[in-house]
Amino acid sequence: MLSQLSISSLRNISAINIQPSKEVNFLLGDNGSGKTSIIEAIHLLALGRSFRTRTLKNVIQFGQQQFQVIAKINSDTPVGLQYSLTSGIQIRLNSAPLKKLSDLASQLPLQYISANCHQFFELGPRFRRQLVDWGVFHVEHRFNYHWQSYKKVLQQRNSALKKRKPTAEITLWNTHLSEHGEQINSYRLSYLSNLLTEFVPIFTRLCTDFKLAEVSLKYQSGWLKEQSLSASLDSSFERDRKLGYTRSGAHAADWSFKLNDADPAEMLSRGQQKLFYLALSMAQGKLAIKDGNERSILLIDDLSSELDIAHQQNVLIELKKLPVQSFISSTDLSLGELVKDEKDKVFHVEQGEIKLANA
């Protein structure tokens, strides 16, 4: 949770300083006013990367040499990120430098919901794996160790396959790949089961115009269901040798939630698909609460896109039930009228400047 946020020299923002609500924060303004830049700044602070560009120099305000995002988390712990054209990226937590982005991410469990989040259904298995792995990362302390170890072993095995090394030099990686892969698989299955439990009631309340009878999990581990990963690696060895890479494993997993035993992408409208993704993110926000984190953070860019006012109100009602701090952008200035709780805050953003509207 952020108790204070300062941003300087980031896109069209010269300098702003706000004290957000620990619950709902509306960022209202016209297109190009700087709303999404504020959401981007929070994303940068939590993950060390932008959702708008791969090159952080593009984030620096024109004519400046660096940008900064500084905040206090969980009431009083300072965290800051600076990117300079000369010295690159620097991150500090509680006044100490951080070298690993995973240490930063563990402090700020965050979900980003883009205006086009209905495209979740079109993005493929890799995106779905990343979504579930981000959730597992925040609830299983050992997940990152197993995932990083798995990736290193997979890289070694693939290199041996590509270079057509002798069989013994390739298969010596199988044991470690199997051990880490099976553990990752176990974490994912457990997490998805819990996610499904949290998702169903949230989606039911958000998407009131869809008659939901049943939700089920479809999960593919990345290897044959009737085999262990070790056995699958053995049986597919000749295929892997011909391909030059390892086809079976945790890196090939996929999952989906079936609605009424059908693919949601084929049943839901674009607005309903957005509510589906919002429900997923809210469910992940609930699961992300752990020691040291009072609340997880939801960044919702352009809430009004694809959703009518009634469904937007449903989203706000649901957010109030959750242990999350939300930052919601919209071009619809009338949304500020939906905020009834004095704990919530409405900010007007105009030309890179921000003003509290309901002080």
CATH number of the CATH domain containing 165 = 1.20.1050.90
Residue that finishes a domain, picked among 256, 288, 320: 288
- Of residues 60 and 99, more confidence is placed in 60
Examine the domain organization and report whether 134 and 240 are in the same domain: yes
What Å distances lie between residue 153 and 140, 170, 192, 236, 241, CA to CA? 21, 11, 25, 17, 16
Label residue 106 by pLDDT band (50, 70, 90).
confident
Residues 174 and 49 in one domain: no
Residue 91 shares a structural domain with residue 132: no
Q: Quick one: average pLDDT of 279-301?
A: 83
Count structural domains, the chain: 2
In whole angstroms, give the CA distance from residue 310 to residue 78.
38
In contact, 357 and 34? CB cutoff 8 Å: no
| CATH number for position 12 | 3.40.50.300
Are 232 and 145 found together in one domain?
Answer: yes
- pLDDT score, position 290: 58
Picking from 90, 70, 88, the residue whose alpha carbon sits closest to that of residue 80 is: 70
| pLDDT on residue 293 | 56
Distance CA 210, CA 89 (A): 46
Least confidently predicted of 29-33, 218-222, 228-232, 333-337: 333-337
Q: Are residues 78 and 29 in the same domain?
A: yes
pLDDT at 292 over 60: no
pTM reported for the whole predicted model:
0.92
Task: Identify the weakest region by mean pLDDT among 64-78, 118-132, 133-147, 278-292.
Answer: 278-292
Whether residue 70 is found in the same domain as residue 5: yes
Mean pLDDT across 22-43: 95
Separation CA 227–CA 188 (nearest Å) = 18
Same domain, 263 and 320: no
Tell which of 288, 318, 340 closes a domain: 288
- Per-residue pLDDT of 184-234, as tens digits, reads 999 999 999 999 999 999 999 999 999 998 999 999 999 998 999 999 999
Q: Which residues make Cβ contacts (< 8 Å) with residue 309, sequence separation at least 6?
A: 338
Q: Kindly report each contact of residues 29-34 with a partner whose C-beta sits within 8 Å and lies 24 or more positions away, as own/partner.
A: 29/329, 29/331, 29/333, 29/348, 29/349, 29/350, 30/331, 30/350, 31/331, 33/349, 33/350, 33/351, 33/352, 34/349, 34/350, 34/351, 34/352, 34/353, 34/354
Give start and end residues of each alpha helix (H) in the chain.
35-47, 101-107, 125-139, 143-162, 167-171, 174-206, 229-235, 237-243, 264-267, 270-287, 309-321
Q: Are residue 239 and residue 266 in the same domain, yes or no?
A: yes
3-state secondary structure of 171: helix
Domain that holds residue 211: 117-288
Q: Which two tokens stand for residue 148?
A: 């990083």
Separation of alpha carbons 8 and 122, rounded Å: 35
What is the model's pLDDT at position 294? 63
Contacts of 354 (CB under 8 A, 6+ apart): 16, 18, 27, 34, 38, 347, 348
The CA-atom distances, in angstroms, between 237 and each of 18, 158, 233, 245 are 57, 12, 6, 10
Mean pLDDT value across residues 136-156: 95
d(CA 129, CA 63): 39
Residue 256 has pLDDT above 80, yes or no: yes
Checking if the pLDDT of 311 tops 90, the result is: yes
DSSP 8-state symbol, 1: -
Q: What is the mean pLDDT of residues 292-297?
A: 71
Phi, psi values for residue 71, rounded to 5°: -150, 170
How high does pLDDT run on average in the chain?
93
Same domain, 133 and 66: no
Residue 291 has pLDDT above 50, yes or no: no
Which of 266, 288, 310 terminates a domain? The answer is 288
Whether residue 147 sits in one domain with residue 212: yes
Percentage of the chain exceeding pLDDT 70? 98
Let me know whether 189 and 279 are in one domain. yes
Long-range contacts of 60-67 (CB under 8 A, 24+ apart): 60/9, 60/10, 60/85, 61/9, 61/10, 61/11, 61/12, 61/13, 61/14, 64/9, 66/9, 67/7, 67/8, 67/9, 67/10
105 and 77 within one domain: yes
Span 328-341, average pLDDT? 85
